């Protein structure tokens, strides 16, 4: 197969990373596959994230290998020490990455909560149970100015979440990065909804959960992250916040079908929270890493 690899201009550049792209096409300029390589910064300058896709009819013809070679060479040129990629368990991509020297470092369990089947009484009971010393707050879009600093500080709640052998390092969050992330969701037309637990003794944020709703208000929403600061764990705040997020999503977006989330298999605590709230498994993906 005569194959041409063409670098593309990708507009997905931001203050905390950039993305490169390649198109594989045959002698008649018919597309056969694509590769996207995201280069991170903000504490992750060592890392590149690969998304590689080959049309089913063009597989086993060397398309994926050529695209991979281009992406890996670029990662090396940009002084990255590893490339990570993800594929659904048992899929062609799963087998491809394993055969090309990537090592499996993480299994992610994906689950879905059908909103029509939510036990409203049980949810209300969770939300109304007193949590001494804490109160819930929420907002849509960008964090209010008076909470921006403590919200950025609360992001370290994710620093120690179980990620097995993944070499993600610690992401550096500040107010500008928090606002930029919210702006990115807004610019693509979606809704960002955040629920936080506030320490009533000093007004600081003890934990948060984020949910992104499609701009249409229909289909499925996606949980982006739930975390509680180490010094506030053991009080049931994660389940409390997530239950309130579910309640508000059902109230504010009546056409929403369900909520999606993904959790590392080794993150037993968050899996227990999701299972208890009624999330059911849909599929598993494997995270792979290639050390350069």
Is the pLDDT at 135 greater than 70? The verdict is: yes
Instruction: Give the pLDDT score at 160.
Output: 78
Residues in the chain: 292
Q: What are phi and psi of 145, to 5 degrees?
A: -55, -40
Kindly give, in sequence order, each residue whose CB lies less than 8 Å from that of residue 10, ignoring residues fewer than 6 positions away: 18, 19, 20, 21, 36
Rounded distance, CA 51 to CA 171, Å? 20
Instruction: Give the pLDDT score at 68.
Output: 97
Instruction: Give the pLDDT score at 37.
Output: 95
Report the share of the chain in percent with pLDDT over 70.
Answer: 93
Instruction: Give the pLDDT score at 119.
Output: 93
Q: No. of H helices and E strands in the chain?
A: 7, 12
Query: Running DSSP on this structure, what letter comes out for residue 163?
Result: -
Give me the CATH topology for the region 4-80: Aminopeptidase (3.40.630)
Q: What is the CATH number of domain 110-283?
A: 3.40.630.30
Residues 208-247: pLDDT tens digits? Answer: 999 999 999 999 999 999 999 999 999 999 999 999 999 9
Calculate the CA dihedral of residues 143, 145, 146, 147 and round it to 10 degrees: 30
Rounded distance, CA 265 to CA 271, Å? 8
For residues 287 and 106, is the Cβ–Cβ distance under 8 A? yes
pTM, two decimal places? 0.87
Is the pLDDT at 198 greater than 70? The verdict is: yes
Average pLDDT in the chain:
92
Where along the chain do the CATH 3.40.630.30 domains lie? 4-80, 110-283
Rounded distance, CA 107 to CA 262, Å? 10
Residue identified by tokens 């005569």 is 2
Q: Going edge to edge, which strands form the sheet with 280-291?
A: 4-8, 17-25, 31-40, 47-54, 82-88, 280-291, 103-114, 256-264, 219-228, 205-213, 191-199, 134-140
């Amino acid at each position: 197969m005569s194959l041409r690899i063409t670098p593309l201009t990708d507009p997905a550049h931001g203050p905390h990373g950039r993305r490169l792209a390649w198109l594989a096409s045959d002698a008649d300029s018919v597309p056969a596959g694509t590769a996207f390589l995201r280069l991170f910064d903000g504490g992750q300058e060592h890392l590149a994230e690969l998304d590689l896709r080959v049309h089913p009819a063009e597989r086993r013809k060397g398309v994926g290998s050529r695209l991979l070679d281009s992406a890996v060479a670029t990662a090396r040129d940009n002084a990255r020490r590893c490339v990570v990629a993800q594929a659904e368990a048992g899929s062609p991509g799963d087998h491809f990455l394993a055969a090309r020297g990537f090592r499996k470092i993480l299994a992610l369990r994906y689950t879905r909560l059908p909103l029509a089947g939510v036990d409203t009484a049980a949810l209300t009971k969770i939300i109304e149970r007193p949590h001494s010393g804490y109160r819930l707050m929420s907002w849509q879009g960008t964090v209010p100015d008076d909470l921006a600093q403590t919200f950025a500080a609360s992001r370290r709640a994710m620093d120690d979440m179980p990620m097995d052998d993944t070499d993600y390092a610690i992401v550096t969050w500040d107010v500008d990065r928090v606002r930029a992330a919210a702006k990115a969701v807004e610019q693509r037309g979606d809704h960002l909804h955040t629920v936080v637990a506030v320490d009533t003794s000093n007004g600081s944020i003890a934990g948060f959960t984020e949910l992104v709703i499609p701009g249409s208000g229909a289909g499925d929403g996606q949980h982006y992250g739930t975390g509680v600061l180490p010094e506030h764990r053991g009080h049931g705040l994660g389940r409390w916040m997530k239950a309130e997020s579910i309640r508000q999503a059902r109230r504010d977006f009546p056409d929403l079908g369900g909520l999606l989330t993904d959790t590392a298999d080794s993150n037993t605590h968050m899996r227990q929270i999701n299972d208890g709230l009624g999330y059911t498994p849909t599929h598993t993906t494997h995270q792979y890493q290639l050390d350069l």
